[in-house]
Amino acid sequence: MKRLMRILDAGNVVLSGWCGITDPRYLEAIAEYDFDAIVLDMQHGFFDETTVQNAIATLVARGKAPLVRIPLARWDTAARVLDFGALAVIAPMINTAEDARSFVSATRFVPVGERSFGPRHAASLYGIDTNEYLQNFDQCSLALAMIETREAYQNLDEIIAVDGIGGVLIGPGDLSISFRQNPIPDAYGVDTIDVVKDIVARCKQAGIKTAAFSIDPKAANMLHGLGVDIISVGLDVTYIAEGVKAHFAGLDFR
Protein backbone atom coordinates (compact mmCIF):
# COMPACT_ATOMS: atom_id res chain seq x y z
CA MET A 1 0.00 0.00 0.00
CA LYS A 2 2.90 2.35 0.59
CA ARG A 3 4.39 1.66 -2.79
CA LEU A 4 4.17 5.27 -3.90
CA MET A 5 5.84 6.67 -0.79
CA ARG A 6 8.40 3.86 -0.71
CA ILE A 7 9.52 4.73 -4.22
CA LEU A 8 9.57 8.44 -3.44
CA ASP A 9 11.34 8.02 -0.11
CA ALA A 10 14.01 5.92 -1.77
CA GLY A 11 14.59 8.93 -3.99
CA ASN A 12 13.43 7.05 -7.06
CA VAL A 13 11.33 8.56 -9.77
CA VAL A 14 7.71 7.43 -9.99
CA LEU A 15 6.71 6.76 -13.59
CA SER A 16 3.02 7.23 -14.14
CA GLY A 17 0.55 6.64 -16.92
CA TRP A 18 -2.43 8.93 -17.49
CA CYS A 19 -5.91 7.71 -18.26
CA GLY A 20 -9.32 9.23 -18.87
CA ILE A 21 -10.91 6.24 -20.62
CA THR A 22 -13.09 4.43 -18.13
CA ASP A 23 -13.41 1.03 -19.72
CA PRO A 24 -11.92 -1.47 -17.22
CA ARG A 25 -10.44 -3.57 -20.01
CA TYR A 26 -8.49 -0.56 -21.23
CA LEU A 27 -7.12 0.15 -17.76
CA GLU A 28 -6.16 -3.49 -17.31
CA ALA A 29 -4.32 -3.35 -20.62
CA ILE A 30 -2.17 -0.33 -19.71
CA ALA A 31 -1.62 -1.68 -16.18
CA GLU A 32 0.24 -4.57 -17.86
CA TYR A 33 3.11 -2.16 -18.52
CA ASP A 34 5.81 -1.05 -16.12
CA PHE A 35 4.08 2.02 -14.70
CA ASP A 36 4.45 2.58 -10.95
CA ALA A 37 1.24 4.59 -10.89
CA ILE A 38 -1.64 5.64 -13.13
CA VAL A 39 -3.46 8.98 -12.97
CA LEU A 40 -7.23 8.59 -13.32
CA ASP A 41 -8.44 11.87 -14.77
CA MET A 42 -11.77 13.23 -13.57
CA GLN A 43 -11.07 16.77 -14.85
CA HIS A 44 -10.63 16.23 -18.59
CA GLY A 45 -11.07 12.46 -18.65
CA PHE A 46 -14.37 10.62 -18.35
CA PHE A 47 -14.17 9.17 -14.85
CA ASP A 48 -17.07 9.77 -12.52
CA GLU A 49 -17.44 8.59 -8.95
CA THR A 50 -18.54 5.07 -9.85
CA THR A 51 -15.99 4.43 -12.57
CA VAL A 52 -13.14 5.96 -10.57
CA GLN A 53 -13.96 3.76 -7.58
CA ASN A 54 -13.81 0.64 -9.75
CA ALA A 55 -10.65 1.83 -11.50
CA ILE A 56 -8.87 2.42 -8.18
CA ALA A 57 -9.67 -1.17 -7.15
CA THR A 58 -8.47 -2.45 -10.54
CA LEU A 59 -5.14 -0.66 -10.13
CA VAL A 60 -4.62 -1.72 -6.52
CA ALA A 61 -5.24 -5.35 -7.50
CA ARG A 62 -2.41 -4.96 -10.03
CA GLY A 63 0.03 -3.27 -7.66
CA LYS A 64 -0.21 0.13 -9.36
CA ALA A 65 -0.59 3.27 -7.27
CA PRO A 66 -3.90 4.99 -8.10
CA LEU A 67 -3.56 8.77 -8.37
CA VAL A 68 -6.71 10.75 -9.10
CA ARG A 69 -7.08 14.18 -10.68
CA ILE A 70 -10.33 15.68 -9.45
CA PRO A 71 -12.47 18.23 -11.30
CA LEU A 72 -11.90 21.90 -10.58
CA ALA A 73 -12.40 22.81 -6.90
CA ARG A 74 -14.34 19.63 -6.15
CA TRP A 75 -13.23 19.20 -2.55
CA ASP A 76 -16.06 16.73 -1.90
CA THR A 77 -14.64 14.51 -4.65
CA ALA A 78 -11.12 14.91 -3.24
CA ALA A 79 -12.21 13.37 0.05
CA ARG A 80 -14.28 10.66 -1.62
CA VAL A 81 -11.49 9.41 -3.88
CA LEU A 82 -9.28 9.03 -0.80
CA ASP A 83 -12.08 7.02 0.80
CA PHE A 84 -12.11 4.93 -2.37
CA GLY A 85 -8.36 4.23 -1.95
CA ALA A 86 -6.53 6.85 -4.04
CA LEU A 87 -2.92 7.28 -2.90
CA ALA A 88 -2.68 10.82 -4.22
CA VAL A 89 -5.18 13.49 -5.13
CA ILE A 90 -4.29 15.99 -7.81
CA ALA A 91 -6.20 19.29 -7.69
CA PRO A 92 -6.15 21.40 -10.88
CA MET A 93 -5.65 25.16 -10.93
CA ILE A 94 -4.50 25.78 -7.38
CA ASN A 95 -3.84 29.48 -7.79
CA THR A 96 -3.74 30.84 -4.26
CA ALA A 97 -2.87 29.81 -0.71
CA GLU A 98 -6.60 29.89 -0.01
CA ASP A 99 -7.22 27.29 -2.75
CA ALA A 100 -4.45 25.20 -1.23
CA ARG A 101 -5.98 25.45 2.24
CA SER A 102 -9.40 24.31 0.93
CA PHE A 103 -7.70 21.35 -0.76
CA VAL A 104 -5.81 20.37 2.39
CA SER A 105 -8.88 20.81 4.55
CA ALA A 106 -10.72 18.15 2.51
CA THR A 107 -7.86 15.69 2.18
CA ARG A 108 -6.02 15.66 5.51
CA PHE A 109 -7.34 14.53 8.85
CA VAL A 110 -7.04 16.74 11.92
CA PRO A 111 -4.94 18.51 13.03
CA VAL A 112 -3.71 19.41 9.52
CA GLY A 113 -7.11 19.43 7.83
CA GLU A 114 -10.73 18.55 8.46
CA ARG A 115 -11.18 15.38 6.42
CA SER A 116 -14.24 13.54 7.60
CA PHE A 117 -13.72 10.02 8.92
CA GLY A 118 -14.78 7.27 6.54
CA PRO A 119 -11.80 5.34 5.17
CA ARG A 120 -13.22 1.85 5.75
CA HIS A 121 -13.28 0.93 2.09
CA ALA A 122 -9.78 2.33 1.46
CA ALA A 123 -8.42 0.41 4.45
CA SER A 124 -10.01 -2.87 3.39
CA LEU A 125 -8.77 -2.41 -0.17
CA TYR A 126 -5.23 -2.45 1.21
CA GLY A 127 -5.95 -5.25 3.71
CA ILE A 128 -5.60 -3.12 6.83
CA ASP A 129 -7.99 -1.84 9.49
CA THR A 130 -8.98 1.76 9.96
CA ASN A 131 -6.64 2.18 12.94
CA GLU A 132 -3.72 1.23 10.78
CA TYR A 133 -5.04 3.51 8.07
CA LEU A 134 -5.08 6.39 10.51
CA GLN A 135 -1.63 5.59 11.87
CA ASN A 136 0.13 5.16 8.57
CA PHE A 137 -2.01 5.81 5.64
CA ASP A 138 -2.51 9.53 5.89
CA GLN A 139 1.16 9.92 5.03
CA CYS A 140 0.43 8.05 1.81
CA SER A 141 -2.38 10.34 0.69
CA LEU A 142 -0.40 12.93 -1.17
CA ALA A 143 -2.13 16.21 -1.89
CA LEU A 144 -0.67 17.45 -5.17
CA ALA A 145 -1.53 21.03 -6.09
CA MET A 146 -1.46 21.74 -9.80
CA ILE A 147 0.58 24.81 -10.67
CA GLU A 148 -0.57 25.81 -14.14
CA THR A 149 -1.25 29.54 -14.26
CA ARG A 150 0.76 32.74 -13.97
CA GLU A 151 -1.19 33.53 -10.79
CA ALA A 152 -0.19 30.19 -9.24
CA TYR A 153 3.44 30.85 -10.13
CA GLN A 154 3.26 34.30 -8.56
CA ASN A 155 1.81 32.73 -5.39
CA LEU A 156 4.03 29.63 -5.44
CA ASP A 157 5.85 30.25 -2.16
CA GLU A 158 2.59 30.82 -0.24
CA ILE A 159 0.94 27.77 -1.84
CA ILE A 160 3.74 25.36 -1.04
CA ALA A 161 4.03 26.76 2.48
CA VAL A 162 0.48 25.56 3.27
CA ASP A 163 0.83 22.72 5.77
CA GLY A 164 -0.47 19.51 4.21
CA ILE A 165 0.40 20.27 0.59
CA GLY A 166 2.57 17.29 -0.25
CA GLY A 167 3.76 18.48 -3.61
CA VAL A 168 2.95 20.25 -6.82
CA LEU A 169 2.09 18.89 -10.23
CA ILE A 170 3.01 21.09 -13.16
CA GLY A 171 0.44 21.31 -15.94
CA PRO A 172 2.64 22.54 -18.79
CA GLY A 173 -0.18 23.11 -21.28
CA ASP A 174 -2.31 25.41 -19.16
CA LEU A 175 0.82 27.07 -17.78
CA SER A 176 1.85 28.03 -21.32
CA ILE A 177 -1.68 29.18 -22.15
CA SER A 178 -1.75 31.41 -19.10
CA PHE A 179 1.71 32.88 -19.67
CA ARG A 180 1.31 33.40 -23.40
CA GLN A 181 -2.37 34.41 -23.26
CA ASN A 182 -2.79 32.14 -26.26
CA PRO A 183 -5.27 29.23 -26.19
CA ILE A 184 -2.89 27.05 -28.19
CA PRO A 185 -0.70 25.25 -25.64
CA ASP A 186 3.07 25.23 -25.99
CA ALA A 187 4.08 22.82 -23.25
CA TYR A 188 7.66 23.35 -22.06
CA GLY A 189 8.13 25.95 -24.80
CA VAL A 190 10.49 28.92 -24.72
CA ASP A 191 8.06 31.15 -22.81
CA THR A 192 7.65 28.78 -19.84
CA ILE A 193 10.60 26.42 -19.62
CA ASP A 194 12.47 28.68 -17.19
CA VAL A 195 9.30 28.99 -15.11
CA VAL A 196 9.09 25.18 -14.96
CA LYS A 197 12.72 24.94 -13.88
CA ASP A 198 12.17 27.55 -11.19
CA ILE A 199 9.03 25.78 -9.86
CA VAL A 200 10.94 22.51 -9.55
CA ALA A 201 13.91 24.19 -7.86
CA ARG A 202 11.76 26.10 -5.35
CA CYS A 203 9.70 23.02 -4.44
CA LYS A 204 12.86 21.01 -3.91
CA GLN A 205 14.21 23.73 -1.66
CA ALA A 206 10.94 23.66 0.29
CA GLY A 207 11.26 19.88 0.65
CA ILE A 208 8.03 18.95 -1.13
CA LYS A 209 7.51 16.54 -3.99
CA THR A 210 7.45 17.60 -7.60
CA ALA A 211 5.34 16.03 -10.30
CA ALA A 212 4.70 16.93 -13.91
CA PHE A 213 2.74 15.85 -16.94
CA SER A 214 4.57 15.08 -20.17
CA ILE A 215 3.08 14.19 -23.51
CA ASP A 216 5.98 12.11 -24.80
CA PRO A 217 9.26 10.44 -23.78
CA LYS A 218 11.35 13.46 -24.84
CA ALA A 219 9.53 15.73 -22.40
CA ALA A 220 9.63 13.00 -19.73
CA ASN A 221 13.41 12.72 -20.10
CA MET A 222 13.74 16.49 -19.79
CA LEU A 223 11.70 16.38 -16.54
CA HIS A 224 13.87 13.55 -15.26
CA GLY A 225 16.92 15.71 -15.94
CA LEU A 226 15.38 18.43 -13.75
CA GLY A 227 14.93 15.91 -10.92
CA VAL A 228 11.11 15.75 -10.99
CA ASP A 229 9.87 13.04 -8.57
CA ILE A 230 6.64 11.89 -10.27
CA ILE A 231 6.65 11.95 -14.06
CA SER A 232 3.63 11.00 -16.14
CA VAL A 233 4.30 10.13 -19.73
CA GLY A 234 1.66 10.26 -22.45
CA LEU A 235 -2.01 9.54 -22.00
CA ASP A 236 -4.57 7.03 -23.20
CA VAL A 237 -5.13 8.59 -26.62
CA THR A 238 -1.40 8.87 -27.35
CA TYR A 239 -0.85 5.24 -26.27
CA ILE A 240 -3.50 4.21 -28.79
CA ALA A 241 -2.23 6.56 -31.50
CA GLU A 242 1.41 5.46 -31.13
CA GLY A 243 0.35 1.81 -31.20
CA VAL A 244 -1.72 2.28 -34.35
CA LYS A 245 1.09 4.30 -35.97
CA ALA A 246 3.61 1.55 -35.19
CA HIS A 247 1.32 -1.05 -36.74
CA PHE A 248 0.82 1.03 -39.88
CA ALA A 249 4.54 1.73 -40.15
CA GLY A 250 5.19 -1.99 -40.08
CA LEU A 251 2.88 -2.76 -42.98
CA ASP A 252 4.49 -3.19 -46.36
CA PHE A 253 1.24 -2.96 -48.35
CA ARG A 254 -0.01 0.47 -47.36
Q: Count the residues of the shown chain that bind ligand 3PY, applying the rule CB under 6 A.
A: 7
Least Å distance between CB 142 and Mg ion? Answer: 18
Nearer to Mg ion, 64 or 69 (CB): 69
Check residue 173 for interaction with ligand 3PY (CB under 6 A): yes
Least separation in angstroms between CB 112 and ligand 3PY: 26
Q: Pick from Mg ion, ligand 3PY, none: which does 213 bind, CB < 5 to 8 A by kind? A: ligand 3PY
The interface region with Mg ion, picked from 83-91, 164-172, 176-184, 189-197 by CB under 5 A, is 164-172
The answer to whether residue 174 forms part of the interface with Mg ion (CB under 5 A) is: yes
Work out whether 172 is an interface residue with Mg ion (CB under 5 A): no
For the question of residue 44 being annotated catalytic, the response is: yes
Q: Name which position in 167, 171, 172, 234 contacts Mg ion (CB under 5 A).
A: 171
The option from Mg ion, ligand 3PY, none interacting with 172 (CB < 5 to 8 A, set by class) reads: ligand 3PY
Helices 75-84, 49-61: axis angle to 10 degrees equals 30
What residues line the site for Mg ion (CB under 5 A)?
Answer: 148, 171, 174
Catalytic positions, please? 44
